[in-house]
Amino acid sequence: MEINDENLFSISIVIIIGLIFISIVRVIYVIYQTGKPLHSKSQKPMSTLIVLGSGGHTAEMINVLSALQKDRFMPRVYVAAATDNMSLQKASVLEDSLVDMNGGKVVSAKFMQIYRSREVGQSYITSIGTTLIAIAHALWLMIKIRPQVILCNGPGTCVPLCVIAFLFKVVGIRWSSVFYVESIARVKRLSLSGLLLYKLKIADQFYVQWAQLQRKYPRAHYVGSLM
Amino acid sequence: MGEIEDSENRRMVFVTVGTTLFDALVRAVDTKEFKQELFRKGYTHLLIQMGRGFYTPTKSEAEDGSVAVDYFTFSSSIADHLRSASLVISHAGSGSIFETLRLGKPLIVVVNEDLMDNHQSELAEELAERKHLYCARPRTLHRTIADMDLASLLPYPAGDATPVAKLINRFLGFPDD
């Protein structure tokens, strides 16, 4: 076969179509696998990313963490929005209390800040720019952390992180199990973050605290009140 | 006329707006109408945590026929004020609501009608329907005080994170505790 422009062009098209096809198959596979409980019963601790948020979010997340066995979820990295002053402090109080309990034998937790996609009340137009910056920052954080488990409960900061987790699943960088707990303040409607993660099937498990929501969103699990 | 300071006779109403700006509520509790209703119901003190608001209430000592009024903007923890209150009137933030309910204090939640996308009202209305608290608007707050029957409120059962923890553990393949 002659190596000329026409043939090179055809070969490139075939390769590109092949790659697109493989990607689509891979994405379908990831969507299919998302939400299936993990097979391995390895018992090894799993690196965990915990997304904190202002308002009641951090208080609810601390409640969830208090019920989990800490030696199964480590090392732990806490992430909060750059403009959130209190959340990382509250998390560090929790972690300090664990050190006291174990006599200082705990692997130390990390605390990081992330740029927000959108501040409360920010115009939707400027939000596009800040969202892009937030996504880039989230990507950088996720590449550093590559958690096996992600715990989040609603603040907008969790959406870029969870979307990147999905991309990591597709590309094969890391399979992160994403757990989303909708806030107790959401009784009849999901938050925007919740709606996105539910509809796009990005969360492996989606928890709601009110039975009405579980009826409306049947793939969610009703877990009762955390507070 | 003595000071109504000894704790047996002191019945304090604590108003909190958390970290928000909620002038409508602060104004509503600073009206003569409202304070008179409080007095009629046997309350002696009104303490207002006004947060980021601009409107400042008028302080006053306890006098015949009216309640003593005091206020502050923020404090690192309102737990002590909640504990010493006989009645709590709060904005609709979930943190305030649950902190108060966990202490077993009677609670009136006032929804801020000026907030866009008022998802907070869902929670307040649901808990009011379940008779754990009263829901009110700033303009009708004095009527809520007049009509309320605190004995009819039901205690709020404490939340439990164990169901979530169980599901997370099972999903990841960890054994049940």
Which of A41, A68, A188 is the best mutation test for B, with the most CBs of B within 10 A? Answer: A68
Q: Which helix (H) or strand (E) holds A22?
A: helix A5-33
- Chain B: residue nearest A148 by CA? B172
Q: Which residues of B6-30 are buried (b: 16+ CB within 10 A; e: fewer)?
A: eeeebbbbbbbbbebbbbbbbebbb
Interchain contact B176–A (C-beta under 8 A): no
AA letter at A3: I
Task: Indicate the pTM of the whole model.
Answer: 0.86
Q: Which helix (H) or strand (E) holds A163?
A: helix A158-171
The residue written with tokens 């994170």 in the block is B161
Task: Write out pLDDT tens, residues A75-119.
Answer: 999 999 888 878 888 888 888 888 766 655 556 889 999 988 777
Q: Which residues contact A172 (CB under 8 A, 6 or more apart)?
A: none
Query: What is the pLDDT at residue B1?
Result: 43
Is B44:B62 a contact under the CB 8 Å cutoff? yes
Tally of CB atoms within 10 A around A90:
16
Q: Decide if A223 and B177 are in contact by the 8 Å CB cutoff.
A: no
Q: What is the DSSP letter of B167?
A: H
Residues of chain B with pLDDT under 70: 1-8, 116-117, 177
ipTM: 0.88
Residues of chain A with pLDDT under 70: 1-2, 55, 100-107
Query: Which residues on A lie below 8 Å from B119 (Cβ)?
Result: 185-186, 189, 191
C-alpha to C-alpha distance for A124 and A118, rounded to whole angstroms: 8
Q: Decide if B173 and A205 are in contact by the 8 Å CB cutoff.
A: no
C-alpha to C-alpha distance for A89 and A147, rounded to whole angstroms: 22
Q: Decide if B172 and A188 are in contact by the 8 Å CB cutoff.
A: no
Task: Write out pLDDT tens, residues B36-85.
Answer: 999 999 999 999 999 999 999 999 987 778 899 999 999 888 899 999 99
> Residues B17, B19, B22, B25: what is their CA dihedral angle, to the nearest 10 degrees?
10
CB contacts < 8 A, A to B, total 96
C-alpha to C-alpha distance for A117 and A52, rounded to whole angstroms: 14
Is A45:A76 a contact under the CB 8 Å cutoff? no
Query: Which residues on A lie below 8 Å from B175 (Cβ)?
Result: 43
Interchain contact B112–A (C-beta under 8 A): no
